[in-house]
A and B are shown apart, each in its own frame.
Chain A
């Protein structure tokens, strides 16, 4: 018999990612938001029959709409799309805004305040050119202490430290980019659907040495949304007209663990430059809550804003011994058929990085993958690969904020 005080699990009952991420000239910030709201509602129901009043609150993730779009009341922009104007809160934590909004939503569900909420992440960035966007994004660093830095420069320093201590090479960095661009070829949502060779990555233009253009995630437009619920029985929605087994709760992935950790904003104040300690702490908590170890995870979306960031992530999350992440990537251990599938979506590098949307997109993408599996092979050899668990890893700044989620099918 279920303990009266036992919490209901939080399930990801609906998910949506923009038609695709990219340089979306025809879509405004509001267009992206509206598409994601309608898309995620449609993912759980026939739009005609769904009563959106079941969304009791909305958590909106965004980094810089105040600068990019002159819009600093984003929670209201989202809420007014519903006839019942649900309570709405905007959450900002640089590139980790999406996963922080997830945590805020989870807290509201775990407290019992709400039973069903929406988390929406969005960023409309490409109306600024890349130099202007570089300036906006640098606001996620320590402005006073790191004056003159850019995000590529900060991650370049981390790459230099990793290369110095562990012998990580140019080829190792390139292998991350090549692999993620290859993965994105099968993702219709991806910003880039173009493969590159190791040589092309290694010879692309320099941004901040050793990081080159093809080591860097792009400036993208996009939105993503999930519907989270603690309802645990019956049909997904109370609307009687919706009665499909396909959308019953038991088929929906649940969040079984998460961790959130912080570190210093500036690199100079870090204890280590070869690990993101916040990743280590956040993942430790997430594994503990889930009752799992890194060996149990066979698929993950990690924060590869730069190629070195993925190498740091797969080591700090415990998938590979410290210092071996680059070689493991080059050896094919992080792609299909390897030890752990990293960034099947193409990651930030190739799927795109609309900053506020990224953390929500990671969860949306993996929830869909857990529910439906991943189609591998072609022709007669085509089959569905299924996963039991999945992990997301979302980083703010150069590692000052890290959130890790673990999902179960």
Chain B
């Protein structure tokens, strides 16, 4: 599906609030079934994360196993598959903090 550039920008204009920062996993699940454009990332974790007293929800990077209490970092990654004519859809994902 062709991604509309304006919608893409609107959706992701708050990236700078997260990239490079870290948080803690509050609860996490490992997703094994998902929508078609996310299939190539399976299995992936989806977590509620706490950062600076606020809670957020993010996908984990493909293959990253997260558990409650893990310290995580917010990173900039491709977040869905798109066809050759579309914008590449980037966004925030979680990785374990080194």
Interface residues of A (CB under 8 A from B): 130-132, 134-135, 138, 144-150, 152-153, 156-157, 160-161, 164, 205-211, 266-269, 273
- The total of Cβ contacts below 8 Å across the A-B interface reads 85
In the bound complex, CA of A120 to CA of B39 (Å): 35
Residues of chain A lying within 8 A (CB to CB) of residue B47? 157
Residue of B nearest to A212 (CB): B32
Partner of A208, one of B32, B55, B59: B32
In the bound complex, CA of A148 to CA of B58 (Å): 7
* In contact, B35 and A150 (Cβ under 8 angstroms): yes
Smallest beta-carbon distance B12→chain A, Å:
9
Smallest beta-carbon distance B7→chain A, Å:
10
Partner of A157, one of B11, B29, B33: B29
* In contact, A206 and B68 (Cβ under 8 angstroms): no
Residues of chain B lying within 8 A (CB to CB) of residue A267? 48, 57
* In contact, A160 and B33 (Cβ under 8 angstroms): no
* In contact, A147 and B33 (Cβ under 8 angstroms): no
Smallest beta-carbon distance A96→chain B, Å:
21
In the bound complex, CA of A35 to CA of B62 (Å): 46
Smallest beta-carbon distance B5→chain A, Å:
16
Count how many chain B residues have C-beta atoms less than 8 Å from C-beta atoms of the other chain: 26
B28, CB-defined interface residue at 8 Å: yes
B56, CB-defined interface residue at 8 Å: yes
* In contact, B38 and A148 (Cβ under 8 angstroms): yes
* In contact, A147 and B35 (Cβ under 8 angstroms): no
* In contact, A268 and B29 (Cβ under 8 angstroms): no
Contact with A along B24-49 (1 / 0, CB 8 A): 00011111111111110000101110
Smallest beta-carbon distance A87→chain B, Å:
35
Residues of chain B lying within 8 A (CB to CB) of residue A273? 27, 48
Smallest beta-carbon distance B72→chain A, Å:
14
Residue of A nearest to B59 (CB): A148
Interface centre among B28, B38, B47, B79 (most CB of A within 10 A): B38
Given the interface pairs A132-B35, A134-B34, A208-B46, the reply to whether A147 lies near B79 with Cβ below 8 Å is yes
Having A135-B36, A206-B30, A208-B33, one finds 4 other A-B pairs with CB under 8 Å, namely A147-B11, A148-B38, A148-B59, A208-B29
Partner of B33, one of A145, A207, A266, A269: A207
B interface majority secondary structure: strand
Smallest beta-carbon distance A130→chain B, Å:
7
Given the interface pairs A147-B91, A153-B46, the reply to whether A208 lies near B36 with Cβ below 8 Å is no
In the bound complex, CA of A210 to CA of B33 (Å): 13
Enumerate B40-77 residues with CB–CB distance to A below 8 Å: 44, 46-48, 55-59, 68
Smallest beta-carbon distance A271→chain B, Å:
11
* In contact, B27 and A149 (Cβ under 8 angstroms): no
A-B pairs, 6 with minimum CB distance: A135-B35, A148-B59, A156-B29, A268-B55, A160-B27, A153-B46
Residues of chain A lying within 8 A (CB to CB) of residue B37? 135
Interface centre among A131, A135, A144, A147 (most CB of B within 10 A): A147
Smallest beta-carbon distance A315→chain B, Å:
18
In the bound complex, CA of A145 to CA of B38 (Å): 16
In the bound complex, CA of A149 to CA of B79 (Å): 12
Interface centre among B44, B57, B91 (most CB of A within 10 A): B57
Residues of chain A lying within 8 A (CB to CB) of residue B32? 205-209
Residue of A nearest to B47 (CB): A157
Residues of chain B lying within 8 A (CB to CB) of residue A145? 56-57
* In contact, B30 and A208 (Cβ under 8 angstroms): yes
Residue of B nearest to A211 (CB): B29
Smallest beta-carbon distance A277→chain B, Å:
15
Residues of chain B lying within 8 A (CB to CB) of residue A209? 29-30, 32
Partner of A150, one of B28, B31, B55: B31
Partner of A164, one of B29, B33, B34, B68: B68
Interface centre among B29, B30, B38, B68 (most CB of A within 10 A): B29
In the bound complex, CA of A209 to CA of B29 (Å): 5
Partner of A134, one of B35, B58, B79: B35
Partner of B27, one of A134, A164, A269: A164
Residues of chain A lying within 8 A (CB to CB) of residue B68? 160, 164
